[in-house]
Structure formats: C-alpha cells, structure tokens
Structure 1
C-alpha cells in the first residue's frame, strides 16, 4: 500500500491530513541506481542535458545593484542567497535550466533557474534536453545524487565528472513535472512554516523586552518596578558529581550545561528552579519544574517566596552572562557574582506570574509549530524517497 501524506492550505493556515496518493501498479527492475519501474530509464546527466561552465565576470556589463538596465541576475559558486552575486545588462544564458555548485561549500547543490541570467566562477549550468524537466533534475541531484569531492583542498566538481552521474527518469516529461511540482509544493509549505516560526520568535523577543523590563504594563498592574539584586529573590546552589548516582532506568534527569546527560533514581532538588552553567556554556538558562539532579558544572537556584520561578527564568534570558565571566580560559561564573546582579522587578509576585504565563503561552505555540515543522520535513523525506524512485507514481 502507498504511504499516506497530504500537505494542504486551509484558510491560510498550514494543515496536514492523511490521504492516500494516487498510484500506478508497476513492476520494478534492478539498475545501477537501484530498483525503478520498468518503464523508467537511467540516463547519464550529459545524456539528458547540455552542460556549460560559468566564465569570469564580465566587468563591462556588471553592477552589484539591480535596476532597469542591470536586470539579469549573476550566479556564482555559493549557496548563500541562492548563489546571487550581482547583475548583468545582458543575458548570458536563458531558458529553462539549472545551476550546480562546482566549488567550495555546498558542492553539488542544484538550483532551478528561469529567464535570462549570468554565471561565473566555474559554476555548472545544465540545459535539459526537450523531454526532460529541469525541476525534476534539480530535485534528484539535490536529494539522491551523492557527489564525490575531487580535491583534498577546496571541494571541486568538474563538468566532466558531473556528466557521468546517473539519474532514473520517468517515461514522460509530464510525469517528471508532476513529481517536481509535488516536492516543490512541500518545500513551499515548509518554508512558509519556517517563516511563521521566525515571526513568532521575533514577536516573543519583543514581548520579553517590553514585559520583563516594565516598559509595557499589563492591565490591572501599576506601581514602579524596583531594582533588586538576584540574591534578594533566589539562592544559587552548586551541582554535584553524578558518578555515584547514575541509573539509566532512573526516574529523574541528570542535567548539565548541554541539557539532559543521563538518568538517576535520586534528585538534588525537587522544586521549580532556574539553572545556569557554572563552567563552559554559561549563557543558556534552563528551567525545571520537576525533580532533577544537577552536575558540578552547573548551578541551580532556590527561588524565594517573593518571586515566581518561570519569571526568573525569563529574566535570566535577558542577562549578558559573558559580561560576568570570571575566567580568562574556559568561561566561568561565580555564585556570589550572580546573586549581586541587579535587575528590575515588579512590586507584586502576581504581576511576575502573569507575565511569565503570557511568555509561556508564546513558547508553547512556538514549540507546537516546531513539532509540526519536523513532521513536515519527515513527510518531505518520505516523498522524495518514494517519488524520485518510482515507488509511488503520481497520475
């Protein structure tokens, strides 16, 4: 049975439901690129496309800025900004094509190109022959072709080497186009969700700056915030070695600066706490509201009754911890130094609690979106595995 996926838009929001993709029953044959349907063929890249190589920059026709004259993009051997380098006032290449990075970081990465453009720095340009789809070739090269680096120095890929790589191809250009369109749609939804997550993070960052500094007050709260030392709202405690208490089947997490590093059957503290690295990574606060063990490279805190623990966690995220570093080698913090840090606090614990809950709700929304993004990416992986090898046919 075919795997089940569908990624759709519903009222402008990303939505995913289960649905069976249309399939065509087809027998498979063994080839040098794996099993493919009997009606597919295997072609070398130079058998399904014409390969050109980018030249030196044509200075007389170049501008770093696009305008009505310099309107044709120039692409180079990089993946940053899809390889954009500048603009020409001439069309060096035009038509349905793709470029492949032939040198350096991102070696072998393909980008679909449309319209007129220029290419420099030995960038590889592929013009598919009439019966082959540029988008399909782009998807296959990016996700199924394993590029062998020809140089022990800067990675390089020549046109001769690229020409020898083989690609399995559906019998019609229409099927190739349909497959590429399905994968492109999945990419678009992933990109849209990534942008939404970035937007939500920016909104939260702004909310933290306003709410945690008193610049913006919530309805029902007034009164001037007070400058207090952290030592007035918490006590910094040292973690302890975990060597004697490790139990891989234990109920409680063992925490280090990098997060959970093991399990134990005992705990060092069983109340809500904010943790910060004592040595090494000193700028990544952690929050725990269940029992835990903290090792000796991390501090945990006992939060006093006049403070709300999650509010303290968010305040910790505003601190420039490296400005309190007390070592010239491995970054280190001192418990007394932490307790002497001065910060603004609301006069009431109720306001702290309300602020923390608003920010926690934002975190929960972002976390849910991140989980959805991972699910989308897994679905895209499955789509590529099945569509680019003919295990599932779109009709």
Structure 2
C-alpha cells in the first residue's frame, strides 16, 4: 500500500530542495484546462474539458436508481428485531463510516423488511435528505428508508461510480440547505453528468488508487482510536495513583476542590476587548469557528475575561465534560454564564490541572454534584457541594512529571491527526485530478 502511494505521487510530483512540486507538464495541462483551453488529447463537453477517449453519460443511463421506503409509524417496535441480520440504515450509520457500511444501530424484523427497500451487500446507497450526498457501499444486506437511494446494476465499475458520487458531495449539499426549495431525488441524481473512461481498466485503476488512500486513512483512524484508548487508560491510572512514576512513592494529599481552584470575575470594560470564546466538549474554541459566525450579543462589554491556564465551564453542562483550560490564547472573553477559575499553584500545577479536571474521575464528581434540571441535557450544579468535595492529588513535583507523560501522549496524537488530515487532503486532490481526467493513469 505504501509503495502504491509513493508510485502515484512519483507520477505526479517530484521532490526539490524547496519541497514537493507538481511535474511541469501536468501543471501546464491543468492550468490550460482551468483557463478553458483544450490541450492535445482533450475535448470540450457539456461536463467540461475531458480526455478525447472519455465519454459523458447521465448517472441514470449507467445505473438504475431507486428510492428507499419506510415502515409507518417509524417508532413502532414491531418493525425492529435485534436478532435480525438485516440492518436499518440511518444517516448516523453512514456518516461514521468511510467507504464500507459494516454495521447499523438498528435491525429490522420481517414485518419491517416487507415495508422497506431491501439492498443486498455490495450496492452503493446515498443519502438524499438531511446530510445529503453521502455515498456508502453496503457491507451486508440492509434496508433503506426514503431518505436514501440505491444504485443497482451499474454499467460501470462500481468503485469508480462510488468515488465520482463522493466527488459530487459538495454539489449535492445545496439541496439540503435550510430554505432550499428543492429536495434531492432520483430525477436530479439521475440527470447529473459523469465523465467516463471508455476502458474498464482505467476506471478500475482510478478506483484502485483512491481505494489505497481510503485503506491508509482507515488504518490511520484505527491507530488514532487505539492511541486515544491508551491515553485514556494512562490517565485513569496516573491521575488516580493506581500507577506511580519512578521515583515517587509518597502519599497523595487530600484537599477540597476549593483548595485547588479559585473563582475569578474580571470583566471587560469595552466592546470587543478580546476574542469571544466558547466552551464545548471538544475544548475552548473561538466562537466564530464553532458557529462559522459571531453570535455573541452586539455589545460584549461586561463579558468575563479568561487568561491562559484559567479553567472555564458552564454549570449546566459540566456533568457532560463541557469544560477546558485555556492554552491556545493568552487572553479571551466568555459569556457571563460561564464560571472562570484560576488554579492555586501551591497545590496544583495548571498544566497538570487540565488533565486532572478533565479526567473520568472528576467527571464522575461533576455528575454527583449536578441535579436534573428543566431538560435532560441541562443540569443544575451544586457549586458549594462541588467545591467542598475532597479529592486526592499528588505533590506538585509528581504532578509535573505526570503532565510530561500525558503531554507526550497528546503530542503523538496531534502528529497522527495531522498525518490523517494530510492523507485526506491528498485523496481530495487526487479525486479532482483523476476523476476529471486531468491526470491520466497507466493501464
């Protein structure tokens, strides 16, 4: 697999002292096509400029397209059977899969199957509502509801069709936008144009190359999950004292949480004094990144100031682990609804404190001090109860060493995630080049 990736890249790029560069002849061809010029060996078509020996077809000409069906009412338990082998596909099953759908959360009974559309293993299905345009290949027999279509008996290489549908994902998304007057349906999908290599071997070679990247991505994702589990186990052992680092064997100190953190209430005195931040389960992020826009009130004067190494959380969502320590900014601001704390450094190192406050051990304590509120998600935090809860912490010197071990695990995860993103970016680039014929493969 690694050699295939290297071979493909050697065919398109070449190394220099300044980095990796695209081969001049390929770069010139792509630039010419992007300018609307027709290079030798290419032609202009309804779908753009493609190789002369390729053809243009509508998707409906190369595959039968059928919409799924749903048993009604959908919540009736008689439609479902956990012992069944026929999966009931929902969009959540598809979005967490890469190329092959290997399992579903629910399975249909015989009654449910009779009211839906059965799709055999190995067929391509695609979502046409909510998260639209997400294709997947079924890894076992499933049933689909009317929010999916299935592509049956394609006259082209199945994997090539899958990747072209994946390339169209952004095109389909406009049909799922709020306020859109159109829904994605079999007619719209069937009328979409697809450029096709006339030679089946070329279709297969393109699909094989992209499949190689998918396999590399899948392996990297599995490795990341393994490393996350290893880090989780490491945190559970190190942050509770079940495993001690070499050179440390003294007793841990029992302290109330209020001896570890102290609330701070510094406020802004002018609008937009610092960047507005939000606290999510994934940490502290700029509000504009979380919502793709600024949603804070027009005047954020009086917002709470958060400084580097401050702990921030929402009292209503703390039990879910919605908290973090600010390490990405020197200073920012959050809504007055948040609580902001500084660590009492004589008792707890702030860098260690981030791992400690986010540990499963502490999440259990947050849950114990949170009562059911007006909704299932939001709970009322007993702040006094939390601050007076007694916990065990290691001496500060041991805290520093524990932090180094956990930070090393985080650094490894960061590197793996950047490698994963690079693979995904490479695949996106290859899809644009190979599926348009701008770069040809040798058959």
Mapping of 1:18-29 within 5 angstroms?
19-21=10-12, 27=40, 28-29=42-43
Offset, 1:16: 11
1:236 corresponds, among 250, 263, 282, to 263
Distance 1:357 1:102, change over 3 A: closer
Offset, 1:189: 0.9
Residue 43 of structure 1 aligns to a residue in which SS?
A: strand
1:211 corresponds, among 228, 234, 238, to 238
Residues 63-82 of structure 1 show CA distances to partners (whole Å, capped at 9, x for unaligned) of 8658xxx7xx6675756162
Identify the residue that residue 225 of structure 1 maps to in structure 2: 252
2:125 corresponds, among 90, 100, 105, to 100
1:133 corresponds, among 140, 157, 160, to 157
Identify the residue that residue 309 of structure 1 maps to in structure 2: 350
Offset, 1:210: 1.2
CA distance in 1, matches of 2:220, 2:434: 23
Residues 359-386 of structure 1 show CA distances to partners (whole Å, capped at 9, x for unaligned) of 1111111111111111111111111111
Q: Report the TM-score, using the length of structure 1 for normalisation.
A: 0.73
Distance 1:304 1:103, change over 3 A: closer
Distance 1:209 1:389, change over 3 A: same
Identify the residue that residue 323 of structure 2 maps to in structure 1: 284
Residues 159-194 of structure 1 show CA distances to partners (whole Å, capped at 9, x for unaligned) of 454332221101211111111111111111111111
Matched-pair contact (CA < 8 Å) for 1:228–1:344: yes
Distance 1:163 1:289, change over 3 A: closer
1:32 and 2:79 are equivalent in the alignment: no
Identify the residue that residue 167 of structure 2 maps to in structure 1: 143
Q: Report the TM-score, using the length of structure 2 for normalisation.
A: 0.66
Residue 101 of structure 1 aligns to a residue in which SS?
A: strand
Mapping of 1:273-352 within 5 angstroms?
273-277=309-313, 282=318, 283-288=322-327, 291-295=330-334, 296=336, 297-318=338-359, 319-320=362-363, 321=366, 324=369, 339-346=387-394, 348-352=395-399
Distance 1:290 1:338, change over 3 A: farther
Residues 3-48 of structure 1 show CA distances to partners (whole Å, capped at 9, x for unaligned) of xxxx8279xxx99996343988764333332322222111012322
1:368 and 2:415 are equivalent in the alignment: yes
Matched-pair contact (CA < 8 Å) for 2:261–2:341: no
CA distance in 1, matches of 2:8, 2:385: 52
Identify the residue that residue 41 of structure 1 maps to in structure 2: 55
* Aligned-pair Cα RMSD in Å: 4.4
Matched-pair contact (CA < 8 Å) for 1:79–1:106: no
Matched-pair contact (CA < 8 Å) for 1:77–1:101: no
Offset, 1:254: 6.5
Residue 125 of structure 1 aligns to a residue in which SS?
A: strand
CA distance in 1, matches of 2:367, 2:266: 20
Residue 53 of structure 2 aligns to a residue in which SS?
A: coil
Question: Which protein is richer in helix relative to its size?
Answer: 2
Structure 1: any 5+ residue segments left out of the alignment?
Answer: 1-6, 248-252, 263-267
Matched-pair contact (CA < 8 Å) for 1:63–1:86: yes
Matched-pair contact (CA < 8 Å) for 2:81–2:108: yes
Matched-pair contact (CA < 8 Å) for 1:279–1:333: yes
Report how many residues are paired.
358
Residues 293-332 of structure 1 show CA distances to partners (whole Å, capped at 9, x for unaligned) of 4545451404322432211111110223465459957778
